[in-house]
Amino acid sequence: MSDAGVATWNPELYDARHSFVWQRGADLIDLLNPQAGERILDLGCGTGHLTAQIAARGAEVMGIDSSTEMIEEARKHYPTLEFRVADARDFSLGQPVDAVFSNAALHWIQQAERVASCVWKALRLGGRFVAEFGGKGNVQRLVNAFYRSLEALNVNPEKDPNPWYFPSVGEYSSILERQGFDVTFAVLFDRLTPLEEGEDGMRNWIRMFAGVFLAAVPAKGQGRFLEGVESMLRPDLFHDGTWHVDYRRLRVVARKASV
């Protein structure tokens, strides 16, 4: 799940408080439909839970992630599986795989063309790429509140802190097609997701995933930034003691055409 250099991850906190990231991705494995004996790459595998579920279906699977911390945690959880630290924009495999799978990772990488090129080279002819990540409009309410809260505090970062890449179906399909893939399935759908930890859920999510916005604020103003964001979001995203995130997923299946 992790990015190529945007943040340092705390894998224990990620697993303890944000397990929905991989739990919600589990049905993507049905779309992948791994077969016994197939060679599969899990790109941006995070702490390796979905990698292990793919292995449990009998496939020979390897997980890669750009975060050393995540890979160490994955190896601790699943010592019999193969995990490597690698950048999704710049990796190669010794032997081509039957499928590349990716859940909740690719929205951290702006250079989607470079990822598509590496995925293409990693696949055998006829192999498939099955991915889900944040699509156009993902966490839009949160992003709007981050900018409004920065503005309210008179914080004007020199560089836009937004680290995310949330393409539309058309934009991402075009990137894959230009690479040579046949896109056989692409859909954008809302997935309003409840957070754990009641009243603290939103600030914990922000600290885990949107630390770059928080870091743009001088330390003494960070509490006010969080309070500002929460008060803007509360009417829409806090219900019955639970915060929600306005996730919107882009799901794609593409084939490395064999003709």
Look up residue 188 and give its two tokens: 């954008």
CB 52 within 8 A of CB 108: no
Min dist. Cβ of residue 31 to ligand BEZ (A): 17
HSE on the CB side for 176, CA within 13 Å? Answer: 25
**Residue with the closest Cβ to ligand BEZ?**
134
Min dist. Cβ of residue 37 to ligand BEZ (A): 31
Footprint of ligand BEZ (CB under 6 A): 104, 107, 134, 138-139, 164, 209, 247
Look up residue 52 and give its two tokens: 């292990």
41/250 with CB nearer ligand BEZ: 250
59/112 with CB nearer ligand BEZ: 112
DSSP state of 126: E
Look up residue 169 and give its two tokens: 């179906």
12/177 with CB nearer ligand BEZ: 12
Min dist. Cβ of residue 58 to ligand BEZ (A): 28
Min dist. Cβ of residue 93 to ligand BEZ (A): 25
Which residues share a beta bridge with 166? none
97/206 with CB nearer ligand BEZ: 206
CB 116 within 8 A of CB 98: no
Residue for token pair 């964001």: 229
